[in-house]
Amino acid sequence: MIEILEGFDLVDSLKFVSKKFPGKVVFSTSFGQEDQVITDAIFKNNINIKVFTLDTGRLFPETYELMDKTKARYKKSFETYFPENEKVETLVKEKGFNSFYESVENRKECCNIRKIIGLKRALKGNEVWITGLRAEQSENRSSMAIWEFDEGNNIHKFNPLVHWSASKMEEYLEENNVPQNVLHKKGFVSIGCQPCTRAIEVGEHPRAGRWWWEESQKECGLHAVK
């Protein structure tokens, strides 16, 4: 499967997977630059892949604006998964709104409630999960393959941009006039929840703006670190 997919360009690889697993392929987007590349390819070519996003309730206003711009641009819809009310209410009642600043464990608890549980709902019943991961994003992702099996979620994971460089991604976005988050022009590279994301300085690692107060692997748990 890996050799086959690496022989295709982005659009053809997406078409191939969608036909091999009809009606069972989903793409998760957080509306970052990588995800907008894949969204553009799926929507413009009417590929049979379901698109969904996770709304944690703590996103930037600019991210919501981009969601609406994307929907208007392509005249396509996507599913939005929200956290379970009771779990969020219990977390806030017991630990407050910003407990994630206090420890890595607390931060992962928040990510689990606001993201991971919703992800499992979105993936349920499907066979392939498409992501916008790129190998050069972080050391944790450097050994990823274009096609993997996610044991934790019991699903095949397809990473079509795994070998793409940042420059190739930016060229695609520019050439295809793809809508982007305005925060990218303000130093935000990897954009997550508003309280957990900051702009990065020149020379800093692209993931430095995520959970900047931590010395961790800079992952939320959506993608298992081997």
Catalytic center residues? 220
Strands 147-150 and 155-158: antiparallel
Residues 2 and 190: their CA atoms lie apart, in Å, by 27
Residue 110 CA neighbour count, 13 Å, CB half:
25
46 token code pair? 């009417």
Q: DSSP string spanning 136-185?
A: GG-GGGTT--SEEEETTTTEEEE-TTTT--HHHHHHHHHHTT----GGGG
Residues 27 and 54: their CA atoms lie apart, in Å, by 11
Residue reference for tokens 């695609």: 172
Helix (H) or strand (E) holding 19: helix 10-20
Q: Which stretches of 31-151 are DSSP H helices?
A: 33-44, 61-74, 85-95, 104-111, 117-123
